Chain A
Amino acid sequence: MLDVRNIRSGYGKALAIEDVTFTLGASESLAILGRNGAGKSTTLKTLMGMTPAWQGRIGFKGNDIVKLSSDAIARAGIGYVPEERRIFESLSVTENLQTGEKAGASGDAPWTVARVFDLFPEIARRSTAPAGTLSGGERQMLAVGRALMGNPDLLLLDEPSEGLAPVVVNRLGDALSELRRAGIAILISEQNRRLARLAAENVVIMETGRIAYRGTFSELDRNPEITARLLGV
């Protein structure tokens, strides 16, 4: 479904990622691990068309989306949950969900406000509150829910566990497992390996803008020296 080949991107004249290549099948999921500044967010933003790719190809469901604007990429069926969440603080929780509302690429729209509230009862209770008053965990749920409202085939999640308490991370992990069962492909960038493992079976590790390792979590468990070298744990 997603076929990323040799993308290179950066900010102004400064290179941030180079030679990034990976693929992801329908309903599959992949975690990108890496230290701060490794290039995880830049990779996701480049997929989303928010930082321009200087070079390379991004195939999505057979089409090259590398030149498309971010709204067209979203409409092609990719949902994006940014690292900073970027919820609309002055809008209510329900209104935030409505901003993401659109039919999926295939034309049907299984996700509704009610279904998001089923998945995240925590924010259902706050439906009329301004989103600016939500806690960190609730904001993250709202950001995920907002992306789901666009009925994506692929969900990009940028360090969803950042700054969240362990209980909330578990809650999020459960929700992501449920989404996987519903057939949504997931590409998640994480520093928290536990959540990454709940959300994905395959993994790539980035280091200084390049992919330094690719494999599965079980493989990674058998080779602690890799994690020690690339993740410093």
Chain B
Amino acid sequence: MGFYFAQFLTGLASASSLFLVAAGLSIIFGVTRIVNFAHGSLFMLGAFIAYSISQQFGFWVAVPLAALSVGAIGWVMERTVLSRLYGAPELFQLVATFGLVLIVQDAALWIWGPTDLLGPRAPGLTGVVRIFDQPVPEYDLFLITVGFSVLGAIWWMFTRTRFGILVRAATEDREMLQALGVRPARLFQATFFIGAALAGLGGALEMPRQPVSLLMDLNIIAEAFVVVVIGGMGSVTGAFLAALLIAELNAFGILILPEITLVAAFAAMAVVLVIRPYGLLGKQATTAPHAVEIQPPQTLGEAGRLAAAVLVAALFVLPIIAGDFVIVLTADIMIFALFAAGLHFMMGTGGLVSFGHAAFFGIGAYAAALLVERAGIGMEAALILAPVAAAIGAAIIGWFAVRLSGVYLAMLTLAAAQILWSASVQWQDITGGDDGILGIWPAAWASGTTAYYYLTLALTTVGIVSLMMLASGRFGILLRAGRDAPARAQALGIDIKLRNWAAIVIAGSAAGLAGGIFAFSKGSVFPDTLAIPNSVDALVMVLLGGLHAPAGPILGASVFALLEDSLSRLPYWRALLGTAVVGIAVFAPGGIAGSLSGWLKRRRERSA
């Protein structure tokens, strides 16, 4: 009995930090309608800044100062990047905050270095108290108090201050609020400051409980997404309840089966979403989505088809003239082009944003590796089953995602990918953990750089061409109708959810095939196939190439691979990548292909 109560208190203590982060995320979303992927980065910065301040001034000065500093950083983020994106489509807002994650990652690496830092413990709260004869850390009790106090403070602010009333009004109808004379910019800045400060406070308070590390940002954001989705976007009380639920699930789940705690969180989210699609206390957003102009279909013209044929022919003769290095690099590009083409298909044609596309790539890679390694199946069967496994994963995740709006899909896929990544690291018996699975070599007939290159060429060409045909065919038309004019499509009797689900499954299986090919080309599989950076790479390729250009993923993958090959030797190339992502979202939403065709069109108009 006493043991379970102590475990319950541990859960409550963990819920506090999670609540602080999720509450900030939720308030910011409510007012600005932006899902801030960089919110986990603010949490991480809170911990790092508190660490630095505590070295000089001690713990109790460090915590509030860190919260305020992070609030200021959030304010700067809002002013410099997000305020330029309030009118932009959701996708670009999401992507830009994702770029910020990369920038903050490298900034933290640059300032604090790669090793984990052990922060100070809280002076005066280092002991334990006995409750029901069980030792409970004093600091845990303090954290629990903080959680409830912050909830109380937010409640007070929301009901007793004009700012709080305006925040609640903006969450309902910010256009009307503006028409009453309220300056949106000020409201947004203040909201960002408070939301970021809460995240910073959460991070600072974690110092005595866990080492300060560069992994804190993505770990917490995945969990915070789960919390916000369960609690209901924009609801602080919902975030509180959901944080409790998740933290307790973790606290008790770890007693039963340590490996499945994250899976349990995901399962809890799934159950809640089935019963209440907008979360425990959430409401369907009342503001109308942005009016999008219906985009023309994505088809390759005559010239494009010719270029594609020339490209395939050139790739076919490449091994005759090129050396091994070029052949391997080209094979990698083809694999990533297929990976990106699937994502491009669901994002460009379907308007469905996935931020965890690596989940499907990784499932494909691990499925192929496990089948070969543990089940003794041959390469051919493994390459067939890899996309099937990924399709099943996509079907499960997609089933929940299509019930919800775009931001939920992005959050869900990111959370799912992060959970799979954790599982691949933790579940050592099956996945080998960080050591990965080695010795996954192709069948005899396909081994050797050149032979495997041709297999890669054949499979990726088939995959990409099929995706292009699907996008420009009837399926693509219906998918676009669901994206651009959902009400009209519904009225015409098109089952949008079913189409979107199918699109996610198709995109997932393309990623899975790419993952399978990748596993055999490298001879091994590691958790980083599932990790967030891999998802980001796919996203960058799609955006770089152009979301609405049929050749986008090929162009994007090529440019990206070449850039990565040269940039990744630079020390802080992820920050460069992040800056590029933010830049594309803000300045060149059409990507390379879009900007190019826009430029050509303007030139033609001028000369005409």
Which A residues are within 8 Å of any B CB, using their own CB?
11-12, 48, 50, 69-71, 73-75, 80, 82, 86, 88-91, 95-96, 98-102, 146-147, 150
> Out of B168, B169, B181, which one reaches A102, CB within 8 Å?
B181
> Out of A75, A86, A95, A98, which one reaches B176, CB within 8 Å?
A86
User: Nearest CB to that of A12 among chain B residues?
Assistant: B291
- With a cutoff of 8 Å between Cβ atoms, the chain A residues found around residue B176 in the complex are 82, 86, 88
Is B177 in contact with A99, judged by CB distance below 8 angstroms?
yes
Is B172 in contact with A88, judged by CB distance below 8 angstroms?
yes
Minimum CB–CB distance for B381 against chain A, Å: 52
Q: CB-defined interface of B172-201 with A at 8 Å, one 1/0 digit per residue?
A: 110111111111100000000000000000
User: Nearest CB to that of A82 among chain B residues?
Assistant: B176
Minimum CB–CB distance for B32 against chain A, Å: 15
Instruction: Verify if B162 is at the interface (C-beta below 8 Å from A).
Output: yes
Q: List 6 A-B contacts (CB under 8 A).
A: A50-B179, A69-B178, A86-B173, A86-B176, A101-B162, A146-B180
- With a cutoff of 8 Å between Cβ atoms, the chain B residues found around residue A88 in the complex are 168-169, 172-173, 176-177
Is A100 in contact with B180, judged by CB distance below 8 angstroms?
yes
- With a cutoff of 8 Å between Cβ atoms, the chain A residues found around residue B291 in the complex are 11-12
Which B residues are within 8 Å of any A CB, using their own CB?
162, 165-166, 168-169, 172-173, 175-184, 291, 293
- With a cutoff of 8 Å between Cβ atoms, the chain A residues found around residue B172 in the complex are 88-91
- With a cutoff of 8 Å between Cβ atoms, the chain B residues found around residue A91 in the complex are 165, 168-169, 172
C-alpha gap A70/B181 in the complex (Å): 7
Is B169 in contact with A74, judged by CB distance below 8 angstroms?
no
Further 13 A-B residue pairs, CB within 8 A, beyond A74-B180, A82-B179, A88-B172: A71-B179, A71-B183, A74-B181, A80-B180, A90-B168, A90-B172, A91-B165, A91-B172, A95-B168, A95-B169, A96-B169, A100-B180, A146-B180
Do A74 and B179 contact each other (CB < 8 Å), given the known contacts A12-B291, A86-B173, A90-B168? yes
User: Nearest CB to that of B283 among chain A residues?
Assistant: A90
- With a cutoff of 8 Å between Cβ atoms, the chain B residues found around residue A50 in the complex are 175, 179
- With a cutoff of 8 Å between Cβ atoms, the chain A residues found around residue B178 in the complex are 69-71, 74
> Out of B162, B179, B293, which one reaches A98, CB within 8 Å?
B162
Contact residues of B: prevailing secondary structure: helix
C-alpha gap A19/B84 in the complex (Å): 33
Minimum CB–CB distance for B532 against chain A, Å: 35
C-alpha gap A151/B418 in the complex (Å): 52
Minimum CB–CB distance for B26 against chain A, Å: 15
- With a cutoff of 8 Å between Cβ atoms, the chain A residues found around residue B183 in the complex are 71
User: Nearest CB to that of B176 among chain A residues?
Assistant: A86
Shortest 9 CB-CB distances between A and B: which pairs? A74-B181, A86-B176, A70-B179, A88-B169, A100-B180, A99-B169, A75-B181, A71-B178, A88-B172
User: Nearest CB to that of A81 among chain B residues?
Assistant: B179
User: Nearest CB to that of B177 among chain A residues?
Assistant: A99
- With a cutoff of 8 Å between Cβ atoms, the chain A residues found around residue B180 in the complex are 71, 74, 80, 99-100, 102, 146-147, 150
C-alpha gap A29/B503 in the complex (Å): 56
- With a cutoff of 8 Å between Cβ atoms, the chain B residues found around residue A98 in the complex are 162, 165
C-alpha gap A89/B175 in the complex (Å): 15
Is A99 in contact with B293, judged by CB distance below 8 angstroms?
no
Minimum CB–CB distance for A26 against chain B, Å: 20
Is A80 in contact with B169, judged by CB distance below 8 angstroms?
no
Is B182 in contact with A99, judged by CB distance below 8 angstroms?
yes
User: Nearest CB to that of B181 among chain A residues?
Assistant: A74
C-alpha gap A69/B178 in the complex (Å): 9
C-alpha gap A12/B179 in the complex (Å): 21
C-alpha gap A102/B291 in the complex (Å): 32
Is A48 in contact with B179, judged by CB distance below 8 angstroms?
yes
C-alpha gap A102/B183 in the complex (Å): 12
- With a cutoff of 8 Å between Cβ atoms, the chain B residues found around residue A96 in the complex are 169
Is B293 in contact with A12, judged by CB distance below 8 angstroms?
yes
C-alpha gap A150/B180 in the complex (Å): 7
Q: Which of A98, A99, A102, A147: most chain B Cβ within 10 A? A: A99
User: Nearest CB to that of A94 among chain B residues?
Assistant: B165
Q: Which of A86, A102, A146, A147: most chain B Cβ within 10 A? A: A86
- With a cutoff of 8 Å between Cβ atoms, the chain B residues found around residue A102 in the complex are 180-181
Do A150 and B181 contact each other (CB < 8 Å), given the known contacts A82-B176, A86-B173, A89-B172? yes
Q: Which of B168, B175, B176, B183: most chain A Cβ within 10 A? A: B176
Do A99 and B179 contact each other (CB < 8 Å), given the known contacts A12-B291, A12-B293, A89-B172? no
- With a cutoff of 8 Å between Cβ atoms, the chain B residues found around residue A86 in the complex are 173, 176
User: Nearest CB to that of B166 among chain A residues?
Assistant: A99
Q: Which of A11, A91, A96, A98: most chain B Cβ within 10 A? A: A91
C-alpha gap A101/B181 in the complex (Å): 9
